[in-house]
Chains A and B, each alone.
Chain A
Amino acid sequence: MSNLETSIATTGHEAPATKGGSVAGYIDDRLASSNFTKRLLDKVFPDHWSFMLGEIALYSFIILLLSGTYLTLWFNPSMTEVIYNGSYTPLKGIKMSEAYSSTLHISFDVRGGLLMRQIHHWAALFFVAAVSVHLLRVFFTGAFRKPREINWVIGTLLLVLAILEGFAGYSLPDDLLSGTGLRIAEGIVQAIPLLGTYVAMFLFGGEFPGTDFIPRLYSIHILLIPGILLGLVTVHLIMVFYQKHTQFPGPGRTESNVVGFRLFPIYMAKAGGFFFVVFGITTLIAALVTINPVWLYGPYTPSQVTAGSQPDWYIGWLDGAVRLTPNWETNILGHTISWNLLIPALVIPGIMFTALGLYPWIEAWATGDKREHHLLDRPRNVPTRTGLGVMSLVFYMILVISGGNDIIAVAFNLSINQITWTLRILLFVLPPLSFVLTKRACLGLQRRDNDKLLHGYETGQILRLPSGEFLEIHEPITDAEKAVILAKQDFAPLALESGEDANGVRNPKAAKSAARARLSAWFYSDTIPVPTDEELQHAAEHAAHELHEAQAQAKQIEGSSH
């Protein structure tokens, strides 16, 4: 090696000792990335099973990108009619679109094609499910609070897009079931006041079904929505990373630290391994459990339908809402307003997703809480929020069940009319009821927590005193348990701004303040205070005393019996 080469190779830095070091050096020479990389490798994430829900969503999304790319190699998004001549004999010689025929080709003539189709479909079902359950976790633990409101909104957008993307993919094979779904979607679009028929004509290139829609939907499904999803997922993750993950209360956990394990090597192995677990399980399910057997449904034709038509689960609530809404329609001045479609398909989803997206600000307005939160709430400690969450979930579940009212009718041999009416009533009765019950249950749990703090837990050891009295021995709970229970914070409702100031001038903000104070009082109604340090100390002394007394008595009994 000449002197010149040596001097170039070592410019500025010592030659690294390891291979990894030389790679890092090569990159750092170009990006000055060492500082970032170190922080990345050392970054600590807290550990909890519920933090894996978002991971499942992310991994399902990656599986969807991989399997979807594979499918595009064979799928032909065309509505041109062809005569099927593949190896699935029951449909041989039947007229169908190229989209459907290429789906059959993937399913029967491409080795591994059916596997990839089923991986793609199962992963889509898991994706929306994981996003939804992840959302519930974030909601019930208050992880959406400041400073994470923006990420909550991104998450809400991701959910909406995931549902749309799922529906688009479900519609592409152009089988009888998916075509029926599109027909329903087109009927709903037609119901939009003023613009409905125009939007429908433009979307479908004329009347339904036309020949333009599948190719158009294809580019939306494989490019537009996944592109937006990918961008939003990236921002979502960067924000989680930058703001650091929230953690559950426990010993050593505070608002200003993160307790857990480092990214490298623990989460590299655990989270990286978990991707393979999710992928592996999805693949095994796809190998063994048939999903969306389009060959059984036949090609789409607008004059046929299968009884018991069901959409994928995440569309079920919309379908259920459409089924439950009574047949309201208004005709004024030669124009038709189809309330029977506008309410379930546009108004209800609009309200639901707007309320969902805005919830962090609604709650902050009610609580007046402007502080940062990195310690998660236990759901019981915020009864009103938990009640609202369960209420919304019950509302949603009734809609999902309504989407299967015909299946219920057939399975239990009941009248479809009675089921529909029952569900209509339950939709308004059960959610408020579940709010009240959930809130009561939360308050009950809080009281039990306070009991545990003040009186310890019941050991199950019963002592009979000479006087005949029975006594159960209570033992104090562990510090770990105390740390969890004592993480609850007391809040007071916002005070009402006075209607007049000191000089008797009317305060213009008073009305708004009164509304806010009422909301705040409602949000914090029935608060159960955390025991104060004095109460805890007093209780500890009392418990020690009681235990001592009991032990003394026990000794006495032992002594006298000998």
Chain B
Amino acid sequence: MNAIEFIVAGMLAAATPFLLAALGEMVAERAGVLNLGVEGLMALGAVTAFIIVYHGGGHLLGFLAAGLASAALSLVFAVIALGFRANQVAVGLAIGILGQGLSALFGKTYESLTVKGLPKLSLPWLSDIPVIGGLFAQDVVVWLSLAATVAIWGIFAYTKTGLVVRAVGENPKAAHALGYPVIAMRFAAVAFGGVLAGFAGAYAAVVYTPLWADGMIAGRGWIAIALVVFGTWLTSRIFLGACLFGAVSLASLAAQATGLDVSSQLLSSLPYIVTIVVLGIISSNRRLLKLNGVASLGEPFEQ
């Protein structure tokens, strides 16, 4: 397998933690809530799934529990940031620190232990195509994540629910005047984001690299938040951005494998550097951000 085939085959799996977490954050931000705690939510989801799978609970139960645990932590965020109208940036940072702390606390006795990942499900014929065939052999979570991406895109593009979520984020006062429960909808959006962040963490810990190491999320939650900006709050662009990051992280692995004479630290920091550069390029287009941005993002709602 050459480097190109390696990247094509693994890109979607590497992209999945970014994709799930970023889509969850996108939904919360579309409703007007900036949740910076994604890194902590993913870490909590990761440790929950790992513990359950390690003790033989199976991947399904592991994912469900991870989603539940992260949703519970994201509801703590919602109660304090939306209920008590606290500064969303500060609450998000605190949730991030708490989630990573809980993850390290629960995961302490599992350090360096491994679990079994998931088998690949290949699409007939397509997976036999040379070079790009690997793209069509993915595990079930990747396939489900792609389905979820399409579903979220459809909800925002075609349904009233999607429209109402956007209205709550764009102009909460108007949405409230029309009779929509702004706070309740924001709670729901944050909890949805929590579930997806939990799944993202679970995927990272029990499928993508099924080995427990403290700090294994390694900034992926933060990159997911950046992806929402890259994707200008649009599902399709967030999907493309997640694929780009999947490819970047695999490219650095492939470079290491081929014995390229670049320091491994530079390769490890490649995703962060790419984030900084792309963030600069996209953000400097002020019109693009203004057109697609969420008007009430981060602001508390008072009747």
A, B assembled together: no
A: which residues have CB within 8 A of B? none
